[in-house]
Amino acid sequence: MGEVDIAKEHPNVVRMRVLGAKVVPVSFGARTLKEAVDSAFEAYLVDPENSIYCIGSVVGPHPFPKMVRDFQSVVGLEAREQFLEMTGNLPDNLVACVGGGSNAMGLFSAFIEDPCEMYGVEPGGTGTKLGEHAASLTYGTEGILHGFNSIMLKNDKGEPAAVHSIASGLDYPSVGPEHAYLNSISRTKVGIANDKETIQAFYDLSHYEGIIPALESAHAIAFAMKLAKEKPYESILVNLSGRGDKDIDFVVANYKPEDYL
């Protein structure tokens, strides 16, 4: 795990340690998600006989994107069933944040044959210049990273660009290949939420619903709130990919709750 993210998501790191995991800090480059994946690959390649590479997103070489999508599809299948049960209809719109894209692919895969609009929400960060965001589908071009071909944010040397998102889990310069494909055939749409909108959404969901979302998921909430204004008579199913327990220390230290009431 990148050193920057170890500090940002401290409560998660404590939990992992309590449960017996050894958390290895990654101290090169931007010290965030991409470098953590680089290091995990390197460790695996040194000793493939005695180690297992487990990626948590729909990225990496085949068959990881498909495996992770299928594991996450449980969420989509249950959400579809429950939405039908609760409303009698399918949702008009689906919204999920996209880092590598696993929670979005898990949700979308259950609705792919349905007449639902599907929005993958990318992190708009602090601006539109390279290095200020991690919106790969919005601003990227075709490229290869971590053993898969997809859409990637590149620097002028064609290497993975520096990226930024307030959410550690969205801070990645590419997206899973299936997202690139679905976007290329216009089956999915790309939404965007910046850091500022995300913090507001984090507090709004907490204040109004008593649900503290992960900063990643708060991107989906922020975009869904914008979409709701555009489509006031349509239903929106938002994938709340994670709880915000891991993020509260960081958020409260940097963005005071009283400023967002």
Which CB, 93 or 241, lies closer to ligand PLP?
A: 241
Sign of CA dihedral 53, 54, 57, 62: positive
Q: Which residues bind ligand PLP (CB under 6 A)?
A: 57, 97-103, 169-170, 214, 216-217, 241-242
Tokens of 160: 């993975």
Tokens of 70: 């299928």
Upper half-sphere CA count for residue 54 (Cβ side, 13 Å): 3
Q: Which residues pair with 148 in a beta bridge?
A: 145
d(CA 78, CA 160): 36
**Packing angle, helices 64-87 and 102-109, rounded to 10:** 50
Closest Cα partner for 148 from 254, 66, 239? 66
- Measured distance CA(149)–CA(26) in Å, rounded: 25
Q: Specify the residue, 62 or 231, whose C-beta has the smaller distance to ligand PLP.
A: 62
Q: How far is residue 157 from each of residues 10, 153, 154, 161, 177, measured CA to CA in Å?
A: 34, 11, 7, 9, 22
Q: Which two tokens stand for residue 67?
A: 């495996």
Neighbouring C-alpha atoms within 13 Å toward the C-beta of 148: 24
Contact indicator for 131, 173 with CB cutoff of 8 Å = no
Q: Which is nearer to ligand PLP, 5 or 154 (CB)?
A: 5
How crowded is residue 142: how many other Cβ atoms within 10 Å of its Cβ?
11
**Residue 259 amino acid letter:** D
